[in-house]
Each structure stands twice: as structure tokens, then as C-alpha cells.
Amino acid sequence: MSGAFTKTMARNIFYGGSAFFIFIFIALTFDTVGALPERDHRENINEQVILGKRVWENNNCVGCHTLMGEGAYFAPELANVYNRFGNSKEAIIGFIKSRPVDGIPGRRSMPQFNLSDEELEGVAEFLKWTSEVDDANWPPNIQG
């Protein structure tokens, strides 16, 4: 073996490495797709959860809040808000209805969206469903 690194050697390393990592990517994709039905509880998605997700998107809640670590970090994480409020959808609905509350230094209050009772119930159901997703213990603390 010569001491020089040839173009053929570089090409073989490139193709071999590419094939290896493509194989790993495909294997991990199949593993994830196989594990998702057990983790996301898609059988619990109903019309209220869908409505709550639409309300979440239409009001740009992710512009301030995070959900499972995705979104803005201005307001609290909401993946575990159902648990934080004592497993009570009524507490979530009451909290949203009572907004805005001022007085936290350096923070704006949450806007009042004037949601209908059906929309509030949908948001609460969506946040309940979100709390039941196996998210590998995210967030790491109860306060989000």
C-alpha cells in the first residue's frame, strides 16, 4: 500500500460512508414509524382535539408558548399544563378565560382571545391529549 491518498480511495470512502449512513437513516426511520403509534395515542384524537389544534394554530399560540419543546420561549411550556393544573380541563378553561393578568415584571400578559365555549373545550382537550403523548419526560420539570 502506497503512502499516497488517491482519488479512488477518497471515492470509495465517500461511497462506503454514504451507503452506511443512508442505511442507518433508513433503519432509524422504520424504528420511529413503528414506535409512534404506541407513543402518540392517535386513537384518542377526536373532533375536540382537532378543533383545539386548529384554535392553537389560528391564534398562533406557538408564537409565545412551546409545545413539547417546539415554539417560542416567551411563555410557559404547555405539554404538561394539564398535569400542572391538576388533570382538570376546567382549570385550563378558567385560566384562559381569566386572561389578561398584568403585574409580572418584564412580561406581557396573555391576550384575551374571546374564544367560544366550544373552542375553549377544544383547546383544553388538545392540551389534555398532548399531556398523554409519551414525550420521553419532556419538559424536565413540572413548571415547563
* pLDDT digits 0-9 by tens, 30-60: 999 999 998 988 999 999 999 999 999 999 9
* pLDDT digits 0-9 by tens, 60-97: 999 999 999 899 888 889 999 999 999 999 999 998 88
CATH architecture for segment(s) 42-144: Orthogonal Bundle (1.10)
Decide which of 112 and 27 is more confident.
27
The DSSP string of 66-129 is EETTEE-SSS-B-TTHHHHTTS-HHHHHHHHHT------TT-PPPPP----HHHHHHHHHHHHH
pLDDT at 87: 94
Interatomic CA distance for residues 66 and 98, integer angstroms: 21
What's the rounded mean pLDDT across residues 104-113?
73
What's the rounded mean pLDDT across residues 123-137?
92
- In the chain, % of residues over pLDDT 70: 92
- In the chain, % of residues over pLDDT 90: 62
Q: How many Cα neighbours within 13 Å face the side chain of 120?
A: 18
CB 46 within 8 A of CB 121: no
pLDDT at 110: 82
Domain boundaries, the chain: 1-40, 42-144
